[in-house]
């Protein structure tokens, strides 16, 4: 929440950020007025359509700022006009998922007896706390005497502040006998909460696992020769676009791997588009946006779309369209490390592959000579209710062949 009870809020000012299964949306205020009630705390699950806050406007308590629908990207409020530029002191929108809570709460500055409690946003209060400033000692220059960030900074510059003590490093505690290990419990929220739901459902499906190793030597050389050229065109070219294209080629040959199973497991739908999901590690946790219609895209077009998804994922800006409609998934856990993995299906998809780090290792050549080879391992998981092991292995062989002979992918250029 960017507002608290008693605070004045401007029309269209950011009130909070709401995260649904599919997207993260900033909710703005419908009215200018004083916040009378805040119905939810940070991290609470808001009921679709219910009030988030009550605002008192000039002629009484207005209705409310409603919670966003689980299925929508946008709040149900009327489309806002372009928001006015935020003042430098305006609070930055805080995500719904809170940072882990410290086990010892920081002291909240108390208003001296008989004095009015100062108005300030949570962000400004945080700044005051960080600098050990009692907010009630600061003269607020904002509307209705609201204390702004600039007021705190001016107060500090005026020299009326005791510097915060330097944090005690954990190494300083070693050997001192002090206990530093404390349990702490946090709520599972945001994308992690979605992961609880989706992964629990997926483990009810019998997974068939299949692993192989891919000789990436030729592809490492090819990517090396194209990387600068792509970069000059504004595209970061990693190995993923080649893996996605190779998957699309293999899916064309084995379309059952691009199918989905109905919830009651009575029907199988062969999907027309190759919307390939990429497991992505973001600051908010695991997300799986997908590149749409890979079958129609060149490798550089896949790379450009992947770059966009990575950028939007890092900024927490992925749309519900980015996160829905996937038909097959690849997880490049190798960008972090590892050799083998056991990926879990993204239902209702029937196949997911996880790839390892590419490593230089010795392998035998045709004449038993030892050759330094760039090897990547792949671990596939398939829905064993509808995919048999032989189909999985044949699919993997086509994918492997495309990556080991990257020139062959030219034949599939659009």
- Binding residues (CB under 6 A) for ligand CAO: these are 238-240, 278-281, 286, 306, 310, 331-336, 355, 357-358
Cβ closest to ligand CAO, residue 336 vs residue 390: 336
Cβ closest to ligand CAO, residue 127 vs residue 240: 240
Nearest distance in Å: CB 5, ligand CAO = 39
Q: Catalytic amino acids?
A: 384, 388
Measured distance CA(219)–CA(14) in Å, rounded: 47
Please name which of 7, 4, 31 lies closest in space to residue 143, comparing C-alpha atoms.
7
Q: What are 211's strand-pairing partners?
A: 379
Nearest distance in Å: CB 196, ligand CAO = 13
Please give the residue whose beta carbon sits closest to ligand CAO in the complex.
Answer: 334
Measured distance CA(385)–CA(256) in Å, rounded: 12
Nearest distance in Å: CB 150, ligand CAO = 38
Whether a cis peptide bond, with omega within 30° of 0, leads into 67 is no
Cβ closest to ligand CAO, residue 148 vs residue 355: 355
Measured distance CA(268)–CA(262) in Å, rounded: 6
Nearest distance in Å: CB 219, ligand CAO = 11
Nearest distance in Å: CB 374, ligand CAO = 9
End-to-end Cα separation, the chain, in angstroms: 48
Helix/strand/coil for 136: helix
Hey, what are 409's tokens?
Answer: 């992918």
Cβ closest to ligand CAO, residue 213 vs residue 281: 281
Alpha-carbon torsion angle 107, 111, 117, 123, nearest 10: -30
Nearest distance in Å: CB 245, ligand CAO = 13
Cβ closest to ligand CAO, residue 258 vs residue 331: 331
Q: Write the DSSP string, 9-65.
A: E-TT-EEEEEE-SS-EEEEE-SS-EEEEEE---TT--PPTT-EEEEEEETTEEEEEE
Helix/strand/coil for 331: strand
Cβ closest to ligand CAO, residue 55 vs residue 240: 240
């Amino acid at each position: 929440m960017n507002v608290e009870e008693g605070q004045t809020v401007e029309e269209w000012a950011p009130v909070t950020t709401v995260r649904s299964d599919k997207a993260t949306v900033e909710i703005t205020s419908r009215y200018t007025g004083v916040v009378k009630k805040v119905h939810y705390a940070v991290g609470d699950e808001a009921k679709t359509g219910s009030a988030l806050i009550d605002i008192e406007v000039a002629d009484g308590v207005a209705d409310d700022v409603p919670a966003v629908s689980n299925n929508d990207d946008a709040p149900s409020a009327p489309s806002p006009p372009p928001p006015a530029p935020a003042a430098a002191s305006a609070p930055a929108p805080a995500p719904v998922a809170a940072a882990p809570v410290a086990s010892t709460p920081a002291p909240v500055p108390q208003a001296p007896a008989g004095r009015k409690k100062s108005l300030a946003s949570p962000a400004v209060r945080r700044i005051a706390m960080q600098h050990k400033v009692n907010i009630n000692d600061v003269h607020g220059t904002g509307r209705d005497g609201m204390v702004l960030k600039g007021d705190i900074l001016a107060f500090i510059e005026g020299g009326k502040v005791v510097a915060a003590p330097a944090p005690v490093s954990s190494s300083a505690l070693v050997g001192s006998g002090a206990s530093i290990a404390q349990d702490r419990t946090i709520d599972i929220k945001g994308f992690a909460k979605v992961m609880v739901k989706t992964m629990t459902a997926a483990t009810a499906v019998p997974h068939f696992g299949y692993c192989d190793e891919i000789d990436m030597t030729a592809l490492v050389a090819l990517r090396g020769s194209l990387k600068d050229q792509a970069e000059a065109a504004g595209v970061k070219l990693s190995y993923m676009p080649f893996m996605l294209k190779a998957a699309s080629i293999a899916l064309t040959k084995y379309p059952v791997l691009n199918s989905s199973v109905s919830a009651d497991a009575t029907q199988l739908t062969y999907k027309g588009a190759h919307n390939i999901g990429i497991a992505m590690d973001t600051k908010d946790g695991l997300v799986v946006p997908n590149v749409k219609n890979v079958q129609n895209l060149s490798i550089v077009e896949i790379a450009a779309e992947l770059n966009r998804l990575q950028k939007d994922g890092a900024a927490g800006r992925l749309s519900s369209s980015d996160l829905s409609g996937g038909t097959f998934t690849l997880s490049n856990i190798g960008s972090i490390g590892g050799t083998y993995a056991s990926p879990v299906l993204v239902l209702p998809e029937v196949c997911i592959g996880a790839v390892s780090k590419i490593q230089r290792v010795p392998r035998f050549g045709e004449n038993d000579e030892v050759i330094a080879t760039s090897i990547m391992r792949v671990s596939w998981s398939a829905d064993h209710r509808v995919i048999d092991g032989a189909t999985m292995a044949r699919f993997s062989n086509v994918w492997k062949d495309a990556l080991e002979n990257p020139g062959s992918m030219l034949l599939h250029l659009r």
